[in-house]
Amino acid sequence: MSKPIPNVATIAGVDPSGGAGVLADVKAISALGAYACAVIAALTAQNTRAVTGVLPIGPEFVALQIDTLLADVRIDAVKIGMLGEAPVIATVAERLAHWKVERVVLDPVMVAKSGDALLASAAVGALREALVPLALVITPNLPEAGVLLEGRAPDNLKEMFRAAERLHALMGSGERWVWLKGGHLAAGDATDLLFNGDRMTELSQPRVDTKNTHGTGCTLSAALAALLPQRPDVPAAAKAAKAYLTAALRHADELKVGHGHGPVHHFHTLWSNAAAGLPERR
């Protein structure tokens, strides 16, 4: 008997351009063979160049979305992205603990690709104290790691090793993983570190030369959430998620979306296969 298709939920903000946030998450989850559900934590006015406004969703309504969804739908993994404010962070942590969600991927979204802030500075402590210990995997990039550790961002591989160890110490007991993303390093391959408190693994892929990198963090964490129920362990899911993102970056220039940092191509495999079976356009 085949395993059921996993149901994967994203809890994040909405980017109207579709490159990041909930819309990007839904694309990545769907492309990787899982059924996507979503809880909206914030609305943004955003395109490929700037975030011009953020409208938070009240914590009571975020809680109602989570409770209504999980009361009916089996959720096999949850990805958490932009939450924006401390009360929403506390609410999400409390409701996920109530529902005993086992596979939680936390992408500690703080700044958009445009440089605009997506997390209130007062909410960083709430993120560190309420959500980091709840997650199975956290996926900070180097600037986010610096903020979580209340210091400067690591700027070389040696500093990344130490940061991964310190980040893991912030997490809860049991199986917990830090996926520290090294894309902000100045040169070389895109090398990340995956650490579970015992084993440190380097995940490397060739760096892709494209300006279309909007939503890479959202896409990677959503891909991981989609793959965790489909792979034997976290390292296997992480390797597959990184390979998927690298291919989506490699095909990103096939899309023409906006005039700033455009999105990655979430459906690079599906669209090419679908087009091959379509009649020629007249």
Calculate mean pLDDT across residues 113-128. Answer: 72
- pLDDT band for 167, please (50, 70, 90 cuts): very high
Q: Where are the domains of the chain?
A: 7-272
Least confident of 36-45, 54-63, 270-279: 270-279
238 contacts 224 by C-beta, under 8 angstroms = yes
Cα(242)–Cα(244) distance, integer angstroms: 5
Which stretches within the chain are classed as H helix?
A: 21-31, 59-70, 86-98, 124-126, 142-148, 157-169, 216-227, 234-250, 268-276
- pLDDT band for 99, please (50, 70, 90 cuts): very high
Q: Name the residue among 32, 35, 28 with its Cα closest to residue 81.
A: 28
For 222, other C-beta atoms within 10 Å of its C-beta total: 35
Active site residues: 181, 213, 215-218
Query: What are 72-91's pLDDT values in tens digits?
Result: 999 999 999 999 889 999 99
- Judged against a pLDDT cut of 80, whether residue 111 lies above it is answered with no
Q: Could you tell me the fold of the domain covering 7-272?
A: UDP-N-acetylmuramoyl-L-alanine:D-glutamate ligase (3.40.1190)
160 contacts 146 by C-beta, under 8 angstroms = no
More confident residue, 124 or 250: 250
Query: What are 220-261's pLDDT values in tens digits?
Result: 999 999 999 999 999 999 999 999 999 999 999 999 999 999
- Judged against a pLDDT cut of 80, whether residue 190 lies above it is answered with no
- Judged against a pLDDT cut of 60, whether residue 55 lies above it is answered with yes
228 contacts 238 by C-beta, under 8 angstroms = no
* pTM exceeds 0.75 for this model: yes
For 73, other C-beta atoms within 10 Å of its C-beta total: 12
